[in-house]
Amino acid sequence: MYLGDEAWPDLESYFETESLALVPVGSTEQHGPHLPESTDHLIAEAFAREAADRAGYLCTPPVTVGVSTHHRQFHGTMWADAPAFRDYVESITRNLTEHGVDRVVYVNAHGSNVDPLREVGRRLRDDHALYAIEWMWNESIPDLVDDLFEHPGPHGGPKETALVQHLAPDLVHDDRLADARDGGVVDVTTNDTIVNGARTYYDAIDNTPNGVIGDQTDATAAKGEQLFEAATEQLVDLCDWLAAQEFQALMPEPHR
């Protein structure tokens, strides 16, 4: 069930019987010359909607702008500074408690959102308001990602490219895949951006001139479908596990 499509009286029965919501979280930022700036929130919403439909849970509208300051040198990137992002996500999550939601899965598709989302989850749990956890699709199926791609790339690589080829093929510039690979960095570990144990980079452009890492030519829609099916199964299982927990068991242990 997608919250944004429902009239309010038709949501009553859900809140009478369920207390879990999926909140998709992504970004609006450059993903190289071949992928749309909507890549992360497109992927996050697709996973959240599919899992919600399969398992009978509620999916909220997506958070479409994330912590993306490090992509600001590339045209069109939008971002929220981490404190503003945390406060916004915390606010929209807290308001779900007004309707009886006491557990949330942040269906996340942007790496730099992870730490802020974890902080939001801690705040909400410490207040005994609700239990919120962050889920990142590729972290749920690492073996499959490694099996499918030699150089998956942490950003704009073949794993994200394959997913968008599967979910929204009209948004992928397939004729630019070789340019994306050749104008970027195939393997970020070959860069000289760690010196004596210190990371010397701050922005994506410090690591890759066109904003992406990995071998994009290794992506196909068929691989994207494999990724989507496998990760969706993981997300459904996570939601079922979380829904089955006693609320008090999810709250912090008392001081000893």
State the pLDDT confidence band at 189, using cuts at 50, 70 and 90: confident
227 within some domain: yes
Instruction: Specify burial of residue 40 (Cβ count, 10 A radius: 0-12, 13-18, 19+).
Output: buried
- Tell me how far apart the alpha carbons of residues 160 and 216 are, in angstroms, rounded to a whole number: 9
Q: What is the pLDDT of residue 39?
A: 98
DSSP string, 107-165: EE--GGGHHHHHHHHHHHHHTTS-EEEEEEGGGG-HHHHHHH-SS--SSSSHHHHHHHH
Pick the range with the lowest mean pLDDT from 132-136, 146-150, 200-204, 215-219. 200-204
As a whole number, mean pLDDT of residues 1-22 equals 96
What is the total count of domains within the chain?
1
Range of the domain at 150: 3-250
Q: What is the CATH number of the domain that holds 13?
A: 3.40.50.10310
pTM, 2 dp? 0.96
- Tell me how far apart the alpha carbons of residues 200 and 46 are, in angstroms, rounded to a whole number: 35
Q: What is the pLDDT of residue 192?
A: 83
Give tens-digit pLDDT for 129-164. 999 999 999 999 999 999 999 999 999 999 999 999
Percent helix, percent strand, percent coil in the chain, to nearest 5: 55, 10, 35
65 within some domain: yes
- Tell me how far apart the alpha carbons of residues 178 and 186 are, in angstroms, rounded to a whole number: 11
- DSSP summary character for residue 6: S
Residues, the chain, total?
Answer: 256
23 within some domain: yes
Q: What is the pLDDT of residue 194?
A: 83
128 within some domain: yes
Give tens-digit pLDDT for 103-124. 999 999 999 999 999 999 999 9
As a whole number, mean pLDDT of residues 202-231 equals 97
256 within some domain: no
**Average pLDDT over the chain, rounded to whole?**
96
203 within some domain: yes
255 within some domain: no
pLDDT at residue 191 is higher than 90: no
Pick from 137, 146, 145, 160: nearest CA to 31: 160
